[in-house]
Amino acid sequence: MRILLSVFAIALLGSTAPLLADEVDVDHGGLQVTLPEKPMQDTQELDGDGQGKPALQHRLIINKPNGSIIVWYQDAPNVKDPQPALKRARDSVVRLAGGEVSDEKPLDLQGHPGVYFVAEIPGKGEFRVAYYHSGSRFYQVMAVGTPEFTHSAVINKMFESVKFAEKAPKE
């Protein structure tokens, strides 16, 4: 499965202003998460699902001077074993970062497999990412920016808040 990583032009070494405290709970394709403010929404058409049809990635985005939050999901109906796809997604972020994984652990969210990792961006910051698979859908929760941003209290709360809604796709 091809997973497109979208990274926006952010000033990784810019302001360290804190995130706003206007939290919002969202349900994004069956994944529930607490975000520090109302996100922008968009849908991006990806290269394809391996069957000649374009895949759609549905994204929530929050951009700040010292980092960004990107939460997305996309359908992946042809994935039979999610573990190799989760590994490929992690490897893509590490390549994009140009660094190495500094922290990694497997995840199990309500019986759904996932992977959590931190990938350093040499001299600039880091990606902090959780990928999940449920049914025929992949999900990403990501913070990218300075370490002060990616490990701030509001980002920690975001990662801790993640859960699947009852209507989430089943394995």
Number of domains in the chain: 1
Q: Is the dihedral of CA 84, 90, 95, 101 positive or negative?
A: negative
1 found inside a domain: no
Residues whose CB is less than 8 angstroms from the CB of residue 123 and which lie 6 or more positions away in sequence, other chains included: none
| Contact predicate 3/74, CB 8 Å | yes
89 found inside a domain: yes
| Contact predicate 156/102, CB 8 Å | no
Reported as a single tens digit per residue, the pLDDT across 66-77 is 999 999 999 988
Reported as a single tens digit per residue, the pLDDT across 46-99 is 876 556 677 899 999 999 999 999 999 999 888 889 999 999 999 999 998 898
Q: What is the pTM of this model?
A: 0.83
169 found inside a domain: no
**Residue 6 scores a pLDDT above 70:** no
Q: Give me the domain span that covers residue 153.
A: 24-164
| CATH code at position 69 | 3.40.1000.10
113 found inside a domain: yes
Q: Mapping DSSP to helix (H, G, I), strand (E, B) and coil, where does residue 155 land?
A: helix
160 found inside a domain: yes
17 found inside a domain: no
Count CB atoms within 10 A of the CB of residue 169.
Answer: 17
94 found inside a domain: yes
Count CB atoms within 10 A of the CB of residue 142.
Answer: 21
170 found inside a domain: no
